[in-house]
Structure 1
């Protein structure tokens, strides 16, 4: 999400596809995308430092992004995605890259640290849920030459990973035994899932909303990314010190995200699925993206593992820059 998703159809088309970039342009695109995000986070940091926003304001930003901005953004992004890409080899390699680190954290956190279920879920997301929106779209456009290449990752996360995780988080917060009827209904009451399903339905039916509906949705969706990034910056300044009392957990989630996930996706794509060239680069780069800011939004909303999510996002956002640059240089 270089920054936010463009508001107009012309700008979306511009972002959507470029000729395949040469190596230097690709690396420049990586730095541009990261610089944009870091600068917005620094604005949030300054707002917290100078007392413009406190932690209560940060939570308001997180709630607005979760309840209103992100669902609108999902409609905007997914309504123009190719849903047929959901069944591509790209998706299979991406899925393998997600399952290994997420499962590894769930096992380690259960048997080593004995964390509660909701904290294990946040840690698993931090280890495998990539920033496919506010960073993935521009990186795919300027590094890979086609923003549509990030669509399989977006769909996997928004339609499968996120609903399952939020269902568990909702259930854990409310308590009680698992009931399949409740489990199946609960994702349909989540605004992010509803927004994603609406976007996919529009794409699958090739439906274009009238301007009276489309323009307000795009405008509201445009606040999701800035709200997440500003709120994250406020939390960096006013939240617990870096490490949050669990540096070992941050180290594990960061290694799983920065090293294990892209390595597994690359290995699966190259040796199991026979992918090479630009397709192999696309899988590797999207899997090497840092942990998404909305994981911190979820952690804040549910009051679970907030420091772990915040610190993993910071470490992986800084650490993935050389990983993606290396992938662009060696595979591009």
Structure 2
């Protein structure tokens, strides 16, 4: 079988199982929210800690790689702002379009990175997540502050929430342990590793359970535009920046996957909180997750 499909089918298969589990009502509907929070905020920090604390960073052009990733996110933000004058849509809806094209599902790409490239893929995606969480959140909050229908944000509160994000804390702790060569007791290290191993299956099941095809009825034409920008233009932006900076091999493919990622569920939450178009965000999350099953294999086959 094609090695790309060999790596991707198990990941997408678990997502499909999550969708089937929710459709079957094997678990109570109300249980999926706590499962998702456990996976993202309870177990994922352990996964990021493990991957970063054990990482050998000596073979990675860290500065150039991280610069390419951050320029990719900034480039997508700039592209979306540039097309705003041509879109005849309400300002709150534009904020959700901005989130659709600017956010990424880092934990899904982490699962793909591990499936495709093992430890190297895990480390590279984890590093991008550390830097992108503050950047992307600040971008989206700023756009919602200008064009959303909600009250003006309290920036000190926003900054506090970002800095205390469990994913950031887990990554930072892993970096301190790695760079400081701090030894961990074997029992503690194995416990954290075991928690981290439980994260990815629950994350993928939660992605599948969160698919809401009814939500795709909200603004279907605009939905098509945001999905096209995210899944077809985004990979080219990240890949092009990586090539321009001389990045090759697995790091370049990880940049490609970052640009090809579907949207993140956090876009819906922020749209609700700050006056964006929440129904449109919900539709985009499902649509981008659905179509990435096609576009990610396509881009890996063409450019990966």
Report the TM-score range of the alignment, normalised by the length of the smaller protein: 0.7 to 0.9
Match of 1:137 among 89, 110, 114: 114
Shift of 1:204: 2.0
Match of 1:311 among 266, 271, 287: 287
CA separation of 1:128 and 1:62: change in aligned 2, threshold 3 A: closer
Query: 1:68 maps to which residue?
Result: 42
Residue 250 (str. 1) matches residue 223 (str. 2): yes
Relative to the length of structure 2, the TM-score reads 0.77
Shift of 1:133: 0.8
Relative to the length of structure 1, the TM-score reads 0.71
Alignment check: 8 A CA contact 2:44 2:196 kept: yes
Cα distance in 2 between the residues matched to 1:72 and 1:171: 33
Query: 1:212 maps to which residue?
Result: 187
Cα distance in 2 between the residues matched to 1:245 and 1:101: 23
Cα distance in 2 between the residues matched to 1:169 and 1:219: 39
Q: Deviations over 1:260-297 (max 9, x none)?
A: 223223333334x3x265378446544454326xx22x
- Tell me, what secondary structure is at the counterpart of 1:307? helix
Alignment check: 8 A CA contact 2:16 2:208 kept: yes
Cα distance in 1 between the residues matched to 2:165 and 2:64: 29
Cα distance in 1 between the residues matched to 2:206 and 2:254: 30
Q: How many residues were matched structurally?
A: 291
- Any residues of structure 2 matched to 1:112-131 within 5 Å, and which? 112-113=88-89, 114-115=91-92, 119-120=96-97, 122-126=99-103, 131=108
Query: 1:81 maps to which residue?
Result: 55
- Any residues of structure 2 matched to 1:271-290 within 5 Å, and which? 271=244, 273=245, 275=246, 278=249, 281-282=252-253, 285-290=256-261
Alignment check: 8 A CA contact 2:235 2:259 kept: yes
Shift of 1:168: 6.7
- Any residues of structure 2 matched to 1:189-208 within 5 Å, and which? 189-208=164-183
Residue 52 (str. 1) matches residue 26 (str. 2): yes
Shift of 1:140: 3.2
CA separation of 1:240 and 1:168: change in aligned 2, threshold 3 A: farther
Cα distance in 2 between the residues matched to 1:167 and 1:115: 12
Cα distance in 2 between the residues matched to 1:126 and 1:107: 17
Moved more, 101-110 or 214-223: 101-110
Cα distance in 1 between the residues matched to 2:37 and 2:104: 23
- Tell me, what secondary structure is at the counterpart of 2:92? coil
Q: RMSD of the TM alignment (CA)?
A: 3.7
Alignment check: 8 A CA contact 1:90 1:279 kept: no
Q: Which runs of 5+ in 1 are unaligned?
A: 1-23
Query: 1:291 maps to which residue?
Result: 262
- Any residues of structure 2 matched to 1:93-242 within 5 Å, and which? 93-106=68-81, 108=83, 112-113=88-89, 114-115=91-92, 119-120=96-97, 122-126=99-103, 131-141=108-118, 148-150=123-125, 152-158=127-133, 160-161=134-135, 164=138, 176-236=151-211, 239-241=212-214
Shift of 1:227: 1.8
Cα distance in 1 between the residues matched to 2:33 and 2:169: 22
CA separation of 1:126 and 1:150: change in aligned 2, threshold 3 A: closer
Cα distance in 1 between the residues matched to 2:152 and 2:250: 44
- Tell me, what secondary structure is at the counterpart of 1:81? coil
CA separation of 1:152 and 1:99: change in aligned 2, threshold 3 A: same
Q: Deviations over 1:228-258 (max 9, x none)?
A: 221222233xx34262413234323332233
Shift of 1:192: 2.0
Moved more, 51-60 or 275-284: 275-284
Cα distance in 1 between the residues matched to 2:117 and 2:51: 14
Cα distance in 2 between the residues matched to 1:115 and 1:256: 19
